[in-house]
Amino acid sequence: MDIIRLTPSDEFFPQELKTITSPPKELYCIGNLRLLKNRRIAVVGSRKCTAYGKTVSQSLGKKLSLSGIAVVSGLARGIDRQAHIGALEGIGSTIAVMATGIDKCYPISNRDLYERIGKEGLLISENPPGYNCRRFDFPHRNRLISGLSEGIVVVEAPLRSGSLITAEKAADQGKEVFAIPGNITSFFSMGCNSLIRDGAKAVSVLNDVFLDMNIEIPENVVKAENLGKDEKIVYDIINIRGESTTESLYKSTGFDHPKLSGILTVLEMKGVITSSMGKFFVEKI
């Protein structure tokens, strides 16, 4: 993959990064520079997260991208990874801001995602090729994530999290800060709940971000009314109840297990439902 070096005098060098504290002297990029001309929203969170956090992050990334928004995140495990994956499904695609040199993937477990973003999205680093990142490079990198973005959504984060540093940078830069509220007893939601207490906007449904940021809400790619008869039966039960397990759907529909399993798989493939922790939910995209 070709590496492109940008300096502040180049056309594609983001104007927003010229005015932040400690602006980068240069940027190294791989991929589609035109994404730097898109509207951009950051979606970030903890490396260690719940299945709920992963589902929300991927759904939000996809929905923003379907509206033409470039989703910015940090290529980390957990929330960042899911935001990137979701965003790659839409036209807005995704921008990964790295702490390493642009030619080094960290963590190595995200190599598949690194290569895909390099082809379909945009990789960015202020560090030259060959640079091995150190611990302090990650919080320093976060000012670029917030600087590139109109607003930032923190999906899940404990009290001591790099995502809170990114949110703090965003607030200092005058950007909108959103947080997904969570269970007050959950370690993974303490940071988000703290952000809300301190003035971040609570996200009750994903559309809150779109309305507050004046982003057009995308239409559902697969309309529920276009489902087959048996698919519609299962979809309606889940939609009315809010959530359902396989066992409860088996009792309600009377379908045998192989048939029900096949219908649920097709509904997930069509993108109208999602599953987490043994339960099925209607996908609100």
- Grade residue 278 by pLDDT with cuts at 50, 70 and 90: confident
pLDDT tens readout for residues 113-124: 999 999 999 999
pLDDT tens readout for residues 191-203: 999 999 999 999 9
Cα distances from 261 to residues 56, 80, 83, 94, 245, in angstroms, run 23, 30, 27, 33, 11
pLDDT tens readout for residues 95-105: 999 999 999 99
Query: Which position has the higher pLDDT, 227 or 105?
Result: 105
Q: How far apart are CA 238 and CA 267, in angstroms?
A: 11
Cβ within 8 Å of residue 185, ≥6 positions away: none
Sheet holding 244-245, edge to edge: 244-245, 279-282, 273-276
Topology, domain 4-212 = Rossmann fold (3.40.50)
Mean pLDDT of 251-280: 84
| Secondary structure letter of residue 262 according to DSSP | H
CATH number of 224-282: 1.10.10.10
The residues spanned by each domain of the chain are 4-212, 224-282
pLDDT of residue 60: 93
pLDDT tens readout for residues 11-67: 999 999 999 999 999 999 999 999 999 999 999 999 999 888 998 899 899 999 999
Are 208 and 284 spatial neighbours (Cβ–Cβ below 8 Å)? Answer: no
- Global pTM value: 0.80
pLDDT of residue 285: 45
Mean pLDDT of 64-90: 96
